[in-house]
Structure 1
Amino acid sequence: MSDPAIVVAKTASDSDRKAIVDALMAFNEKAGGPAHFQPVAILVKDPASGTTLGGLWGRTIYDWLFVELLVVPEQLRGRGLGSRLLAQAETIARSRSCIGVWLDTYAFQAPDFYRKQGYTAFGTIEDHPRGHKRIFFQKRF
């Protein structure tokens, strides 16, 4: 087989991403065993219009829940919605036999919120973005 071409894509397609993910998952499943990937989506909806206003987006994989996104719109904060979203996600993770949850946030976002929910920091990236840091949290069950 000749050497493959390396191409910097100006616009990448969903099928390009899928090809990369599929190759990585195939390798991981050989090396690490079944991933048991399942998405998690818990949505905050406007009751009148049905429009999604915020929520939690993540996935369970390799015995952990990864929370990719969690947002409560500013006008709805202070009502316990964030705590309820996270608690529901943790319930889902436990029902899928996960051993914990991990996520990341920026120092200017919600690190204190996650600490109040029982999460502990396990790593940081300084100057991401410059002058700030990205913090990685976990919570084991």
Structure 2
Amino acid sequence: MTINEFSLNRRTVVVGAGALAAAATLSACTTYGKEDPAPAAPAPQPGAAAEALAKTADVPVGGGVIVGDTVVTQPTAGTFVGLSATCTHAGCKVATVAKGTINCPCHGSRFGLDGAVQSGPANKPLAAKPVRVEGDSIVAA
């Protein structure tokens, strides 16, 4: 057989067809379950009212509430602090604010109402998220 001659046998066809089917299957799986990202929310217009995270009356002095990916605390009367709800140890979402600490259920990290680490394994504070009071509401700043 010369280099320009080509010969197919049954085994070559079967193996080639199997490889092609496997490649098609893998290709189809790479996008399974992925959705198009949601369009970004429009930026608020200057002077427009911001969406409230919580009412000031709902955040107890010496405590806090978890709203989505934000923890809002009130360490002292009239002082509101916004923090990320993502634990700095392993990325779990904190679950409760109780007895003056923000508590992560995954590995037991506890944070103060200002986000500082009270007990590990986390060794970095919760990230600050700016908030402000508008009327009787706490909004993202």
Structure (1/2) with the larger helix percentage:
1
Larger relative contact order (Cα-Cα within 8 Å, sequence gap ≥ 6): 2
Tell me the TM-score normalised to structure 1 length: 0.22
Bigger CA radius of gyration: 2
Structure (1/2) with the larger strand percentage:
1
